[in-house]
C-alpha cells in the first residue's frame, strides 16, 4: 500500500515539476518580450515622468507584442508540443493534421500564448519578489528593518504606523499567496491549455469527417475481404469436396489445379487488403496535407492515373512484361475518372498476371476528346478451365463505370483466339484546370439498375 502511495505521490510531484518548467518557459518568454518592449518604448518612456506610467506603458507594449507573436502560426505548434510534453495535455489523435489557420484559431492561440507568458511572469514575481518581501515584512517587528524598500516602494509607511501585528499579518499573507501561486498555478494549467489549444469546432468537424472517411474505407476493405476471400474460399471448399467425391483421377487433378489457382488469387486479394489496412493504420500516409476536409480515407482510393508509372514499375520489377502506350496527358484527367482509370488498369494487370501466360501484356490508354479508353489484352493460353469471369474485382469496377456513364467490356477476344481483352471507355476525361474538385466521387443517387452488360463473358 505504502509503495503505491509513494509512487503516486512521486508521479504527481514529477508532473508538477514539469508544469513548473512549462511556466518557467513562459517566464523566459515574458522576460524577453518585456525586454523588447522596454527597448522599443525607450524613446517614449525616457521623457515620461511618473514611474508607474512608464512601467504601465512597458507592460502594455509587452502585452501587444505577446499577442502579436501568438498570432503567428508556429506559436500554436510550439504551445501544443509544450503542453503535451510538460502539462500532460491530451489532444485528439491525429488532429494536428487537421489544424486550420483561421482567425478564430489564431486568436485563441494568441490569447493562450499571452496567458502563458503572463503566468510565467506571475510565477517569477511571486517567487522572487512577493516571497522575500512578504518574509521581510512578517519579520519586520523583530528584525527592525522598518526602512525596507522593496522595488523602491516604502512598504511599511504605506501600511501606516498601526500595530506590528498588521505588518506581520500582511507579510504572512503575501508569503502564503505567493507560495500558493507557485504551487497551484502549475497544477491548474492543463485544462485551459486543452481548451485553448485543442481543436476548434471547425477542426472537430474536420476530424470527424476524416474519421468517418477512414471508417468507411475500413468498412470497404472489410467488405472486399468478406466478398473476395469468402468467395474464393467457397470455391476452394466446393472444388475440394467435389474432388473427394470424384473417382476419375484426371478430373481430380483438374480440380486441384483450379483450387491452387483460386487459393493464389485469394492470397493476392488478402495481401492487397492487408496492404490497405496497414497504410490506413499509419496515419501519416493518410489524407494528404492538412485542410482537405473529407478528402477521403485511404490510400488505394486516392491513387490516380498519375500513379500509373509506379504501378508499372512495380509490376515490371516483379517480372511482368507490359508493352504499353500511356500518353503523358492522362495526368490531367479529372479526379473521379482518373481514380477509376487507375483501378481498372490495376485490376486488369493483376488479372493478367494471375491468369495470363508469360507473354507480354498490352496496355493502351487513349485520350480522345472527353473519352478515356483503356485497353488491356493478354494471352490466356489454351486451358479455358479455371478462368473466372474476368475477376471478381471487376464487379465493383463495372458498377462504378456505369455510374460514371462509361462502358466496360471484358472477355475472350473474338478476333484473336487465345487472347483476353478488357476495354473500358470513360467519359468526362477532358482535362480541366488542375484544381481539387470539392465533391467526392461517391454518388448520392442510388445505384441504377445495372443495364444488360454489352458483353457476356461466359
Closer residue to another protein in complex, CB, 237/313: 237
Q: What is the CA radius of gyration of the chain?
A: 36
Residue 295 grid coordinates: 478528402
Q: Does 237 bind another protein (CB under 8 A)?
A: yes
Closer residue to another protein in complex, CB, 36/453: 453
Q: Which stretch binds another protein (CB under 8 A): 168-176, 387-395, 414-422, 427-435?
A: 387-395
Dihedrals phi, psi of 425, to nearest 5 degrees: -120, 125
By CB under 8 A, the residues from 84 to 123 that bind another protein are none
Please state the closest distance from residue 214 (CB atom) to another protein, in A. 24
Q: Which stretch binds another protein (CB under 8 A): 74-82, 118-126, 416-424, 450-458?
A: 450-458
* Position among 51, 143, 234, 313 found at the interface with another protein (CB under 8 A): 234
* Position among 239, 315, 376, 377 found at the interface with another protein (CB under 8 A): 239
Q: Does 230 bind another protein (CB under 8 A)?
A: yes
* Position among 388, 400, 421, 423 found at the interface with another protein (CB under 8 A): 388
Residue 410 grid coordinates: 471484358
Closer residue to another protein in complex, CB, 306/450: 450
Closer residue to another protein in complex, CB, 90/223: 223
Q: Does 452 bind another protein (CB under 8 A)?
A: yes
Q: Which stretch binds another protein (CB under 8 A): 96-104, 186-194, 243-251, 283-291?
A: 243-251
Q: Which stretch binds another protein (CB under 8 A): 10-18, 209-217, 238-246, 428-436?
A: 238-246
By CB under 8 A, the residues from 190 to 229 that bind another protein are 226
Closer residue to another protein in complex, CB, 2/458: 458
Rounded CA-CA distance 398/344 in Å is: 9
Please state the closest distance from residue 235 (CB atom) to another protein, in A. 5
Please state the closest distance from residue 202 (CB atom) to another protein, in A. 37
Rounded CA-CA distance 170/368 in Å is: 89
Q: Does 256 bind another protein (CB under 8 A)?
A: no
Closer residue to another protein in complex, CB, 395/430: 395
Q: Does 411 bind another protein (CB under 8 A)?
A: no
Closer residue to another protein in complex, CB, 54/387: 387
* Position among 82, 130, 235, 337 found at the interface with another protein (CB under 8 A): 235
- Burial per residue of 2-14, b for 16 or more beta-carbon CB atoms within 10 angstroms, e otherwise: eeeeeeeeeeeee
Closer residue to another protein in complex, CB, 278/385: 385
Please state the closest distance from residue 247 (CB atom) to another protein, in A. 8
Please state the closest distance from residue 422 (CB atom) to another protein, in A. 16
Q: Does 450 bind another protein (CB under 8 A)?
A: yes
By CB under 8 A, the residues from 357 to 386 that bind another protein are 386
* Position among 144, 160, 245, 319 found at the interface with another protein (CB under 8 A): 245
Binding site for another protein (CB under 8 A): 226, 230-231, 233-235, 237-239, 241-246, 251, 255, 258, 262, 386, 388-389, 395, 450, 452-453, 458
Amino acid at each position: 500500500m505504502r509503495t503505491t502511495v509513494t509512487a503516486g505521490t512521486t508521479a504527481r510531484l514529477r508532473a508538477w515539476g514539469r508544469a513548473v518548467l512549462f511556466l518557467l518557459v513562459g517566464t523566459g518568454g515574458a522576460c524577453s518580450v518585456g525586454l523588447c518592449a522596454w527597448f522599443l518604448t525607450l524613446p517614449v518612456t525616457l521623457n515620461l515622468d511618473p514611474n508607474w506610467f512608464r512601467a504601465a506603458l512597458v507592460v502594455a507594449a509587452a502585452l501587444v507584442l505577446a499577442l502579436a507573436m501568438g498570432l503567428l502560426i508556429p506559436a500554436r505548434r510550439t504551445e501544443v508540443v509544450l503542453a503535451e510534453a510538460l502539462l500532460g495535455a491530451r489532444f485528439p489523435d491525429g488532429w494536428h493534421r487537421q489544424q486550420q489557420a483561421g482567425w478564430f484559431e489564431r486568436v485563441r492561440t494568441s490569447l493562450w500564448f499571452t496567458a502563458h507568458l503572463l503566468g510565467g511572469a506571475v510565477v517569477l514575481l511571486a517567487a522572487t519578489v512577493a516571497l522575500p518581501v512578504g518574509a521581510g515584512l512578517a519579520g519586520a517587528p523583530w528584525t527592525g528593518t522598518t526602512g525596507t524598500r522593496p522595488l523602491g516602494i516604502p512598504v511599511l509607511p504605506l501600511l501606516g504606523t498601526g500595530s506590528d501585528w498588521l505588518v506581520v499579518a500582511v507579510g504572512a499573507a503575501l508569503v502564503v499567496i505567493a507560495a500558493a501561486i507557485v504551487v497551484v498555478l502549475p497544477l491548474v494549467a492543463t485544462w485551459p491549455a486543452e481548451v485553448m489549444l485543442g481543436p476548434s469546432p471547425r477542426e472537430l468537424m474536420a476530424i470527424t469527417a476524416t474519421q468517418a472517411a477512414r471508417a468507411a474505407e475500413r468498412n470497404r476493405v472489410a467488405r472486399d475481404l468478406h466478398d473476395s476471400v469468402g468467395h474464393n474460399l467457397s470455391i476452394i471448399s466446393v472444388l475440394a469436396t467435389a474432388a473427394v467425391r470424384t473417382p476419375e483421377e484426371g478430373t481430380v487433378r483438374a480440380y486441384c489445379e483450379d483450387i491452387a489457382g483460386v487459393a493464389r488469387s485469394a492470397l493476392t486479394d488478402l495481401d492487397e487488403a492487408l496492404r490497405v489496412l496497414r497504410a490506413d493504420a499509419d496515419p501519416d500516409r493518410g489524407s494528404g496535407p492538412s485542410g482537405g476536409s473529407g478528402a477521403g480515407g485511404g490510400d488505394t482510393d486516392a491513387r490516380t492515373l498519375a500513379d500509373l508509372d509506379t504501378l508499372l514499375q512495380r509490376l515490371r520489377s516483379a517480372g511482368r512484361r507490359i508493352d504499353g502506350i500511356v500518353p503523358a496527358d492522362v495526368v490531367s484527367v479529372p479526379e473521379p475518372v482518373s481514380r477509376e482509370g487507375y483501378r481498372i488498369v490495376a485490376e486488369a494487370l493483376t488479372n493478367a498476371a494471375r491468369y495470363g501466360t508469360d507473354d507480354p501484356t498490352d496496355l493502351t490508354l487513349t485520350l480522345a476528346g472527353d473519352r478515356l479508353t483503356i485497353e488491356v489484352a493478354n494471352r490466356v493460353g489454351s486451358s479455358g478451365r479455371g478462368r473466372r469471369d474476368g475477376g471478381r474485382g471487376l464487379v465493383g469496377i463495372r458498377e462504378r463505370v456505369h455510374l460514371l456513364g462509361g462502358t466496360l467490356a471484358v472477355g475472350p477476344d473474338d478476333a484473336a483466339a487465345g487472347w483476353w481483352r478488357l476495354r473500358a471507355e470513360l467519359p468526362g476525361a477532358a482535362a480541366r484546370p488542375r484544381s481539387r474538385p470539392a465533391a467526392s466521387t461517391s454518388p448520392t443517387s442510388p445505384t441504377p439498375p445495372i443495364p444488360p452488360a454489352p458483353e457476356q463473358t461466359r
